[in-house]
Amino acid sequence: MKNIAVIGAGTMGNGIAHTFAQNGFKVQLIDISEGTLKNGLAIISKNLDRMVSKETISEEIKLQTLSNIITSSNLSESVKQADLVVEAATEDIDLKLNIFKQLDEACPSETILASNTSSISITKIGAATNRADKVIGMHFMNPVPIMKLVEVIRGSKTSDVITKSIMDLSKKLNKIPVEVNDAPGFVANRILMPMINESIDTLENGVAGVYEIDTVMKLGMAHPMGPLQLADLIGLDVCLSILNVMHDGFKNPKYAPCPLLINMVKSGKLGIKSGEGFYDYSKTKKAEIVSSQFLNRII
């Protein structure tokens, strides 16, 4: 696989494009919004500059990485030569099914279709296509250029050959792939989201404040970020969406989203991207500044 198409130029999409491009792949970064594409490229460039300043990569690698990325707002035309398409659109089932139907029609028959979904059934996504054996999950972690894990999710019809191919490809990206079976939330979010939800419930019940809850988890459990700070980084709307998928899928009340989380999303407090969540980010000019501070600590 040499030619990669990435659908969506938001936080995850531009990170995935960055990672493939930095490892020598030709990448088509696709989004319906020209503004999102422009912003996505700017974030990739800033992250590369940070790596150069820390001597993680050379200036030559930075320039080569940027030259490997082409942006486009035309999905059908941009995926015609793709060996692999990685969808990284909003965590919305109807949107993803529509994208995969379009990809199935536009891509060559041998193209592998992957989703970066963090909770939605790969089996259901595959059923929207005529190539369910070639549909797989590639769940990257945020920030993609730094985090090592790729959760590789097999749908019920995903073939052994395709699974092995994606596992091998992930290693070429200097990632550590872990194969899991299809279930709501997979492994990462099935464990993480109940912890975040319980942290929010702990706050709502007045057991402790935001700072105190996060400090206990950082100092007591050696987590690099507290669960409420992490929720802000992920996006509270995304957390809510994942919990809803798990609650609907398992029909188990333990996955029911905390009322405080629901109300915060309704009021537009989504975390870093909206400027306010459990923490106030309004003093920063752009949400990316806060993400950059996090990146600076772990690069």
**Residue 223 appears among annotated catalytic residues:** no
- Residues at the binding site for NAD(+) are 8-13, 31, 91, 96, 118, 142, 273
Alpha-carbon distance of 65 to 87, in angstroms, equals 20
Indicate the CATH number for domain 3-181: 3.40.50.720
pLDDT of residue 291: 47
Of the residues 68, 78, 115, 118, only one is catalytic, namely 118
Write out pLDDT tens, residues 267-287.
999 999 999 999 999 876 444
Q: Please state whether beta strands 149-154 and 176-181 pair in parallel, antiparallel, or not at all (unpaired).
A: parallel
Indicate the CATH number for domain 189-291: 1.10.1040.10
Alpha-carbon distance of 151 to 243, in angstroms, equals 18
pLDDT of residue 283: 76
CB atoms under 10 Å from CB of 223, counted, come to 15
Alpha-carbon distance of 160 to 125, in angstroms, equals 18
Domains of the chain, residue spans: 3-181, 189-291
224 preceded by cis ω (within 30°)?
no
Q: What per-residue string of b and e applies to 280-297 under the rule 16 or more CB within 10 Å gives b?
A: ebeeeeebbebbbebbee
CA 56 distance to own-chain centroid: 23
Write out pLDDT tens, residues 143-201.
999 999 999 999 999 999 999 999 999 999 999 999 999 999 999 999 999 999 999 99
The whole-model pTM stands at: 0.90
Of the residues 18, 139, 197, 247, only one is catalytic, namely 139
**Residue 18 appears among annotated catalytic residues:** no
Residue numbers of the chain with a pLDDT score lower than 50: 285-299
**Residue 151 appears among annotated catalytic residues:** yes
**Residue 53 appears among annotated catalytic residues:** no
Q: Distances from the Cα of 265 to the Cαs of 92, 95, 160, 238, 270, in angstroms?
A: 15, 20, 40, 9, 6
